[in-house]
Structure 1
Amino acid sequence: MSPIDRIQGYADELTAIRRDLHAHPELGFEEVRTSGIVAEQLEAFGVAVHRGIGKTGVVGVLEGRPGKRRIGLRADMDALPITEETNLPYRSTNSGKMHACGHDGHTTMLLGAARYLAETRDFDGTAVFVFQPAEEGLGGARAMIADGLFEKFPVDEIFAIHNQPNGPHGRLMVRPGPAMAAADFFDIRITGRGAHAAQPHESVDPIVVATAIAQAMQSIVSRNADPLKSAVVSITQIHAGAAYNVIPQGAHIAGTARTFDPALRQLVGQRIREIAEGIAAAHGARVEVEIRDVFTVLDNSPEQAAAAAEIAAEILGADNVDSDCTPRMGSEDFADMLRIVPGAYAWLGATPGPGLHNAGFDFDDSLLPLGAAFLARVVQRRSTV
C-alpha cells in the first residue's frame, strides 16, 4: 500500500490533531502544550523522543531496516501574535495568538509521516523528526543548532515543507539554489522633546521625525537598489504618544528588509542608518538604529531539490510539480539548518483562501495526507541513496 493510501486511512485523526493545535496556539519558545502533544504522539508510535532541544523543541528518532543513511524531516510549531478573525468551531482560544501561518498543519503532517514510517518500518537507516520552536523571527532553528541538534542527531540531509494558500491545490513547488530571501529586522528609536500639543514650538516632535524617516526610506529600493536585484523594505510598526493633547518625547519605528544579495543587504542597512540619522539631526532629535540579522538566504541543495521534485511527482503526479519555481521574498529559518546540512524546502499549494499571516487564515486540512505522504516517501527514497 502506498503512503498516500495508508495515510488517507487516518486522515480524520490528523485533522483532529491539527484543529486541536489550531485552537491552542503558542508563540515562539512557549510551545509547551504543543511540544507535549508532539512528544506523546511520537512515543505512542514507538519513536524515541528527546525533549528540550532549543528550549521547547522536540526530536524523534526512528530506526528502520539496517542502513547507514540518516534522513531528517523538520516542521515548525509556533503561532503568531495575531487575533484570529474567523468563526471556525476550532478557532483560537488563546487571546491575541493564532496559527496564521499553518505551523499547526506542518506539525501534523510530520506526525502523520512519523506514524506511517513507525507502523511500516519500510525504510533503511534512521529517520530523524525535528519539531522546531520559534520560527517566526525568534531564532528557533539557531537555538536548536546551538543546543547541539546536528551533533546529537546527525543527518545526511534534511527536508521541510510549507503550505502555500494561494494554490494551486496539491501542487508542490521547489527550486534549486536561493529560494527565499535573507531578512533583517530593524528598530529606529527617536528621542525628541515633548510639549503641550498647543505649543508645538517648544517641542522637537518625534512624530514629525518618524514620518519623515518613513517616507524617505521608501526611496531605498527605488533609488539605491540595483533594479535587477530584489529588495523589500517594509515598515510594519510606528509607535508614539498616548494622549490627544501631548506631543510625546519619543517614537519608535520597526520593520524588515529582505534581500538575496549580500552587498545589497549591506547597502540597505547602511541607507536605513544614514536616512534615520540624517533626518533626526536635521530636526534636532536623537536617534538609535538597531538592525538584526534574523534570517539568512534559504539555499536549496541542487541534488536534494531535484529529489524532492521527483518524489513529489510520484506522490502527486508529474503535472502537480514545479521544479523551478520563482524565488520568494519571504524568509524562513530552516535556512540556518541548510547551511550545515544539505537539503531542500518546498511549498505545497492549498485551496486558495486568505494568505499567510492574515487574521482570516486557516490551514487546508486536505493537505495533511498529501504532505505526510511526501515526507514519508522522502525518507524511503533518500535512505537508499
Structure 2
Amino acid sequence: MFGNTWLYKGLIHMCDIIQIRRELHQIPEVGMDLPKTLKYIINHLEGLKNIDYKVIEGKAVVAKTKHHKNNRFLAFRSDMDALPVEELNDISYKSIHPGIMHACGHDAHMAILLCFAEYINSLEDPEIGVMFIFQPGEEGNAGAKWLIDHGIFKEYVPERIFALHMFPSLRTGVVASRPGPLFIGTEEFHLKLHGTGGHAGFPENSIDLIEIFVNIFSDSRREAIKIANGDKYIFFFGKTITNGRNNVFPSILNTEGTIRAYDNTLMKALENNLLKYCKLYANNNFELSFSTPYLPVVNDSDSFSIIKKASADNKILLKEIEPLRIGEDFSYYLSKTRGAMFLLGCAGNGIFNRKLHSQNFEIDESSLKIGLNLFITIYDLCI
C-alpha cells in the first residue's frame, strides 16, 4: 500500500520503535507530573521539522503538522503515565524507578505515536493535518478531561480522533474493537458515616453504624437492580473499615466502592440511589463523595469501520468483542468529536499471560510495528 520505500522505512521504524519503547519503559512516572517522560517526548519532537508542538502547563504535549493541503484535522492520542507497581521482569530495560512501572503499556503507546509522527513528518505536503496528543493522568486522574478543560480543541476540533491500547489477552496479529460502547463508564465513591460510639453493653447510648451501613448496602443494591431494568452495570462496595472493637460501637465507618455503566444517565441514577439511602438511614450524619467519572467510551460507527478496513488492508484479524467493564478517559475526547479506539494484541514470541497492571506485564514487541502500520493506514483511509 505504501510502496517499497515505505516498506524499507518501516523496517527502520521497527528498530527505532523498539528502542523508543524500551527507553520510555525505564523511566516510568505516575500521575499528572511526568518530567522525564515529557522531556523525552519533547526531545524526539524537536527533530521533526514539519511538526510544531506545545507544552500544556508543564504536564502534556500536543503536537500538530505545520503544513497540509486543507483545513481538515485528525487527532491521535497516547497516554504517558505509569503505575505504582514494582516491576519483577528480569530485562535489560527494567524500570529504574523503584515501585513504579509501565504495567499498562503506555510506553508502547508513546513509541507508536512518536514513530507515527515521524512518518507524517516525512510527508512533503500531507493531505490533512494531524494532532498528536501525549496525555498524562489516564490512570485515575482524568488527564483527558484536564486537557480538554485547558483548551486543546479550542483552535482546532479534529474531525476524528483515534487511539489504541495494548491488550495481552489477544495474540500479536489480532486487534479488537466494536461499534458503540467499548469501555464502561466508571466512578469511585467514598462514604463516611458518623456516630457517637460507646460500649456494646449500653446500646441505648450509641448509634449502630454497622446496622446503618448494612441497611444502606442492602437497600441501595436492591434498588439498583430495578433502576438498571436489565441494563448492564456494576454497583460494588469493595472496602469497609471502622474504628470500633469487639465490644465498642464505632464512631466512624468508612466504605468505598465503584459505580460502572455503559450509559451516563444510568450512572447518575445509581449515584442518586446511593445518596437517597444515605439520607434515609444516616440522616445528615454522613459524607458522600464521588470521583471525577470516566464516561463510557462509545466508538462512532464510521470511525470503527475505518479501523476495520485498516485491519483488513494490513491482513490483521479484527475481533468484534463485547464491551469491557474497565474504564478509559479517552471517552472525554469522544464527547467533543467522533472517533474510535481499538485493542492491540501483544501476546506472542514467548510473552504470554502477562496481565495488565501486573508486576510482570510485558509485550511482544513485534506488535509495535502492527500498531504503527494501523495508524498510518487509518490516516490514509481518512484522506
TM-score, structure 2 as length reference: 0.85
Cα gap change, 1:125/1:140 in structure 2, threshold over 3 Å: closer, same or farther?
A: same
Determine if the alignment matches structure 1 residue 7 to structure 2 residue 20.
no
Q: 1:96 deviation in Å?
A: 3.7
Number of equivalences: 375
**Deviation per CA, 1:261-296, whole angstroms, max 9, x where unpaired?**
344323321232234444546xxx932112345122
Deviation at 1:68, TM superposition (A): 3.5
Deviation for aligned residue 1:222: 5.1
1:41 counterpart (32, 41, 44):
44
Identity %: 26
Q: Which amino acid counterpart does residue 73 of structure 1 have in structure 2?
A: F
Q: Distance in 2 between matches of 1:5 and 1:331?
A: 38
Q: Which amino acid aligns with 1:321?
A: L
> Structure 1 residues 97, 254: CA separation in 2 closer, same or farther (over 3 Å shift)?
farther
Moved more, 95-104 or 304-313: 95-104
- Correspondent of 1:127 among 130, 134, 138: 130
Q: Which residue of 1 is the match for residue 329 of structure 2?
A: 333
Query: What is the Cα deviation at residue 120 of structure 1?
Result: 4.3
SS at match of 1:166: strand
Superposed displacement of residue 212, structure 1: 6.7
- In 1, Cα distance between equivalents of 2:92 and 2:287: 45
Residue correspondence of structure 1 range 114-193 to structure 2 within 5 A: 114-121=117-124, 123-193=126-196
- Asked if 2 retains the 8 angstrom alpha-carbon contact of 1:85 and 1:359, the reply is yes
- 2:318 is aligned with 1:321: yes
2:341 to 335, 341, 345: 345
2:294 alignment partner in structure 1:
295
Contact 2:181/2:298, CA 8 A, preserved across alignment:
yes
Is the 2:174–2:344 contact (alpha carbons within 8 Å) kept by the matching residues of 1?
Answer: yes
Matched, 1:268 2:270: yes
Gaps of 5+ in 1: none
Q: Aligned partners of 1:328 and 1:68: how far apart in 2?
A: 35
Moved more, 337-346 or 115-124: 115-124
Alignment check: 8 A CA contact 1:181 1:259 kept: yes
Residue pairs, 1:34-113, within 5 angstroms = 34-53=37-56, 55-63=58-66, 66-113=69-116
Distance in 2, matches of 1:49 and 1:239, equals 51
CA apart distance, 1:363: 3.7
Inter-CA distance 4–191: structure 2 relative to 1 (3 Å threshold): farther
1:258 to 257, 260, 283: 260
The aligned counterpart of 1:376 is: 376
Between the aligned partners of 1:207 and 1:126, the Cα distance in structure 2 is 59
Alpha-carbon distance, 1:124 to partner: 1.5
Quote the offset at 1:214 in angstroms: 5.3
Q: Following the alignment from structure 1 to structure 2, what is the Cα–Cα distance between the partners of residues 346 and 42?
A: 25
Counterpart-to-counterpart distance in 2, 1:113 and 1:193: 61
- Whole-Å Cα distance in 1 between the matches of residues 346 and 202 of structure 2? 53
2:18 equivalent to 1:21? no
| 2:354 equivalent to 1:354 | yes
Task: Rate the CA distance shift 1:108–1:247 in 2: closer, same or farther, 3 A.
Answer: farther
Is residue 304 of structure 2 the alignment partner of residue 305 of structure 1? yes
Deviation at 1:149, TM superposition (A): 0.7
Shift of 1:4: 6.3
Q: Does 1:231 align with 2:233?
A: yes
- Tell whether the 8 Å contact from 2:244 to 2:251 is kept in structure 1 after alignment: no
Q: Which runs of 5+ in 2 are unaligned?
A: none
Question: Is the CA contact 1:221–1:232 (under 8 Å) kept in the aligned structure 2?
Answer: no
Q: CA RMSD in A?
A: 3.2
Matches of 2:5 and 2:229 in 1, distance apart?
Answer: 49
Deviations 1:220-251 (A, max 9, x none): 65565323x11012334445559999876423
Asked whether the equivalents of residues 114 and 376 of structure 1 are also in contact (C-alpha less than 8 Å), the reply is no
Deviation at 1:35, TM superposition (A): 1.5
